[in-house]
Amino acid sequence: MANVGKDIPNITYGGQEDYKKLYYSDPNAALKIQVTVSPGWGKLPMGTALCMNDSAAGNDGKYLPYDPTATITGAEDAPGRAYLVQDSGTTATILYVTLDDSYKFTTGDDVIINDDTTTAENLGAITAIDRTTYQHMAAITVTTATGGTSFTTARFAYITVEGYDTCDGILEKSVDTGTGSTAAGALATLIISNAVLYNGMLTNVDSNARTDLSATVNGQYLIVK
């Protein structure tokens, strides 16, 4: 008789969070602020660089993962991106991302589109997010149409929000902002200055982020002034 409705025994092992040290210096000496991270970015490990959403509305003032734009190869640890699932086309006001990635945004967010070749463009505010027409993707409608060059999936085209390319600090402890429709965001602590951190514990910090933080690398350490 066939096995019907029976589970197959299994064990899934996960990595322990925050078991390594982020600080080389005294954590109590660092200058830190409490911030709110907007929903949809999944689990963000300590050492993640964050930026502030600078939109005129939407999630304005909340934080999200900084986008490492010194190089764009598609292999970066860049949870702040929502990669397009089809080319933007030219003069387009509707962009398509996965359903889960659509929850990284809300109406009113000012959208930036970018890829590894074309100059980034500000597409203005999101006016609508359609999550019901398609089963496999969401349609995001923006105010300003893309220009005369299509942003393509072959060039790792993605959208994010205004403020994406200015690093404001380093996440002190891991947080779970949620994924998809159940995402709720998170409260977090942001290191902004006066700290020496283990550089190997940082995930999405590139040369541009170090410039934003007035930080330098010395051996295995990142010195945030």
Q: Domain-by-domain residue ranges, the chain?
A: 27-224
Cβ 189 vs Cβ 72: under 8 Å: no
> With a threshold of 0.95, does the pTM exceed it?
no
Q: Is the predicted pLDDT of residue 204 greater than 70, yes or no? A: yes
Phi, psi (rounded to 5 degrees) for 98: -65, 160
Q: CA–CA distance from 152 to each of 114, 117, 157, 190 (Å)?
A: 9, 10, 5, 34
Does 168 have pLDDT greater than 70?
A: yes
| Average pLDDT over all residues of the chain | 94
Assess contact for 76 and 204: CB atoms under 8 A: yes
pLDDT of 55 over the 70 cut: yes
pLDDT band of 20, cuts 50, 70, 90: confident
Residue 198: the pLDDT is: 98
Residue given tokens 């109406």 in the structure block: 107
Q: How far is CA 44 from the centre of its chain?
A: 9
